[in-house]
A and B are shown apart, each in its own frame.
Chain A
Amino acid sequence: MNETERLISPEDVRHVARLARLALDDDEIGRYASQLSAILEHVDAVRRLDTANVPPTAHPFPVENVFREDAVTASLDRATVLAQAPLAESDCFQVPRIMGEAP
């Protein structure tokens, strides 16, 4: 196994896929392990950069808080929005159960 393949293991891919809520099959896990390793190797110049005294940039221009008048304006129509949902009921988006049974 060369160094590239060691950067990201299939276990790492499974962990990241879980964090990202992506269901991947075994083929994908193997492929992404080698591709992500190669990409990380390619961006290694950034990791090794001497950045002492360099501040980070999150946005091209200074972003200040934007205020507007506290005025009531129309919002999107609820029925129009819910009509786009895969599943809706009683004016709500419907999702599978997110909590278990009480013990």
Chain B
Amino acid sequence: MTASRAPEFGSLVEIAASVRSGERSARAVLAQSLDRVRVLEGDLHCFNEVTVEEAEADADAVDRKVRSGLDPGPLAGVPVALKDNLCTVGVPTTCSSKILKGWLPPYDATVVSRLRRAGALPIGKTNLDEFAMGSSTENSAFGPTRNPWDITRVPGGSSGGSAAAVASGMVPLSFGSDTGGSIRQPAALCGIVGVKPTYGVVSRYGLIAFASSLDQIGPFATTVADAALGLEVVAGHDPMDSTSLERPAPSLLASLGAGVSGLRIGIVDDFLSDVSPECGAAVIAAAEALATVGAEVDRVKIPELLLGLPAYYLIAPAEASSNLSRYDGVRYGLRVDGPDAETMNARTRGEGFGPEVKRRIMIGTYALSAGYYDAYYGQAQKARTIVIRAFEAAYRNFDVLLTPTTPSVAFPFGSKVDDPIEMYLCDLCSIPSSLAGHPAASVPFALSPDGLPIGVQVLAPALGEVPMMRVAASLEQAAPPEARGPVTP
């Protein structure tokens, strides 16, 4: 382990305050970010595209506003990295897939326009497992991202580029998407905070769809407060997403100091035997830390949650097989010609998609096909109900639940990529709350004997972001500071 502490940006509130007051220019903050990218990008490969000119123009616009006495917003001058499945006008958006190479979206994702409206500076598009399918970024068509804590290991995935960019101090804030753990798992493996909000809290407009009943966008940051502010800025109803909840964005930052006194916290027993001893020990230590600051802690068994993984690996591929049918070589992206339309479609998809995407399209197509629908997809939907009911029963006795985020620390490249089931098991603890649409956060809490970060996952019922983030903030205070990024590889 060779990672050392990295220079920090200061909190998002501090960055924005210094830019709004004119003490520091947005251009200067941006230069710090881009310098760091220049130094480390060759080692880490966080980005598919760094948009220097666009970011400089955005920074100049923020600085002009400040000089004119206008308020550029709560993220004034904050450099931010965007997962490359979030649409950006005129900037390639590839999903790390050959099938979308060169495509220029005609509109911005709502998250992107809200960030820019808040004064943030998008600096580029981060690498991911192709179409967000994977747990290591090894499924990217453009090569993997490396973990800044140990560049021989994966950063997790699918939002690995966004996680590594924050964990290496390139940006203080980034965004990813989470379908079964794609924010929380890389956050844990990279020693930073990652939040998957309640389904519907953040608009999915402009997020390229993987599994529409599960996909949510959320932030990565090095602290709970920064993740809270990042989420507040992008959350809230959006008429462009019909599944967006008709509620204002939750007020999170202001509630973080409230502590956890009196909160009922359950340690979910069922995962502890399936994870590495150090990941399990971190959860127990986290619960003890919360008890010492006034939480009521108890253990709880919810064995139904173990149905989550197999149900998810039918539901998500089924939805993906439908969503990805749009890549047919007609309207955008790659086209491989053929004598008739069907052959052109099949050749385009055969050449454009990588092995994991094809595998999931096949599983999903099979699970939805005549004769198998009831046995697989239908049963998985019922298993989803069983998981949701089990959570409902548990939340009658608890405000928040604790689990490991991941079964293990960051693993070496190549160690799971040829065994799909081994890779799918990375999502064991993160999937159940995705199926339920509940919020979940990963907080860095410990280091392994090898010096690799370990995350603890905080779960809450739908719209339970406030108690969830209060618990996350208390865990952060109890955690050793060396367990969190940013680090220099």
Query: Interface with A: B137-145, B147-155, B258-266, B354-362, which one?
Result: B354-362
Distance in angstroms from B4 CB to nearest chain A CB is: 40
Flag if A45 contacts B307 (CB, 8 Å): yes
Note all chain B residues with C-beta closer than 8 A to A43.
310-311, 313-314, 376, 380
Task: Tell me the total A-B contact number using a CB cutoff of 8 A.
Answer: 172
Flag if B310 contacts A46 (CB, 8 Å): yes
Flag if A57 contacts B381 (CB, 8 Å): yes
Within 8 A of B (CB), among A14-39: 16-24, 28, 32, 35-36, 38-39
Instruction: Tell me, yes or no, whether A103 is within 8 Å of chain B by CB.
Output: no
**A33-69, CB under 8 A of B: which get 1 and which 0?**
0011011101111110101001111111101001010
How long is the Cα–Cα vector from A66 to B200 in the complex, in angstroms? Answer: 14
Q: Interface residues of B: mostly helix, strand, loop or mixed?
A: helix
Question: Taking A96-B338, A97-B340 as contacts, is the C-beta distance between A46 and B350 under 8 angstroms?
Answer: no
How long is the Cα–Cα vector from A35 to B423 in the complex, in angstroms? Answer: 13
Flag if B382 contacts A54 (CB, 8 Å): yes
Indicate the member of A36, A46, A55, A57 with the most B CB atoms within 10 Å.
A46
Within 8 A of A (CB), among B89-107: 103-104, 106-107
How long is the Cα–Cα vector from A87 to B337 in the complex, in angstroms? Answer: 11
How long is the Cα–Cα vector from A8 to B341 in the complex, in angstroms? Answer: 28
Flag if B366 contacts A36 (CB, 8 Å): yes
Flag if B353 contacts A22 (CB, 8 Å): yes
Flag if A86 contacts B334 (CB, 8 Å): yes
Flag if B362 contacts A36 (CB, 8 Å): yes
Flag if B213 contacts A58 (CB, 8 Å): yes
Note all chain A residues with C-beta closer than 8 A to B106.
76-77, 80-81, 84
Question: Taking A57-B381, A76-B107, A84-B332 as contacts, is the C-beta distance between A20 and B310 under 8 angstroms?
Answer: no
**Chain B residue, CB-CB nearest to A67:** B242
Interface residues on B, range: 35 or more
Flag if A16 contacts B313 (CB, 8 Å): no
**Chain B residue, CB-CB nearest to A83:** B104
Flag if B313 contacts A49 (CB, 8 Å): no
Note all chain B residues with C-beta closer than 8 A to A60.
199-200, 213-214, 388, 435-438, 462
Instruction: Tell me, yes or no, whether B328 is within 8 Å of chain A by CB.
Output: yes
Note all chain B residues with C-beta closer than 8 A to A46.
307, 310-311, 314, 376, 379-380, 383
Question: Taking A21-B342, A58-B213, A86-B329 as contacts, is the C-beta distance between A39 and B383 under 8 angstroms?
Answer: no
How long is the Cα–Cα vector from A84 to B332 in the complex, in angstroms? Answer: 5
**Chain A residue, CB-CB nearest to B321:** A20
How long is the Cα–Cα vector from A85 to B245 in the complex, in angstroms? Answer: 34
Flag if A95 contacts B330 (CB, 8 Å): yes
How long is the Cα–Cα vector from A49 to B359 in the complex, in angstroms? Answer: 24
Instruction: Tell me, yes or no, whether B17 is within 8 Å of chain A by CB.
Output: no
Distance in angstroms from B148 CB to nearest chain A CB is: 32
Note all chain B residues with C-beta closer than 8 A to A20.
321, 325, 349, 361-362, 365
Question: Taking A24-B350, A49-B383, A61-B462 as contacts, is the C-beta distance between A16 and B376 under 8 angstroms?
Answer: no
Distance in angstroms from B15 CB to nearest chain A CB is: 34
Known: A36-B363, A47-B379. 10 other contacts (CB 8 A): A17-B346, A42-B421, A43-B380, A46-B307, A46-B376, A51-B383, A56-B381, A60-B462, A61-B200, A76-B107
What is A's interface to B at a CB cutoff of 8 Å?
8, 12-13, 16-24, 28, 32, 35-36, 38-40, 42-47, 49, 51, 54-61, 63, 66, 68, 76-77, 80-81, 84-87, 93, 95-98
Selected A-B contacts with CB under 8 Å, 22 pairs? A16-B366, A19-B369, A21-B328, A23-B346, A39-B313, A39-B363, A40-B376, A42-B310, A43-B314, A45-B310, A46-B379, A47-B376, A47-B379, A51-B382, A51-B386, A54-B385, A57-B384, A61-B245, A84-B333, A95-B344, A96-B344, A97-B341
The 6 closest A-B pairs by CB, nearest first: A60-B437, A23-B350, A56-B381, A86-B335, A43-B310, A51-B382
What is B's interface to A at a CB cutoff of 8 Å?
103-104, 106-107, 199-200, 213-214, 239, 242-243, 245, 307, 310-311, 313-314, 321, 325, 328-335, 337-347, 349-351, 353, 355, 358-359, 361-363, 365-366, 369, 375-376, 378-386, 388, 420-421, 424, 435-438, 462
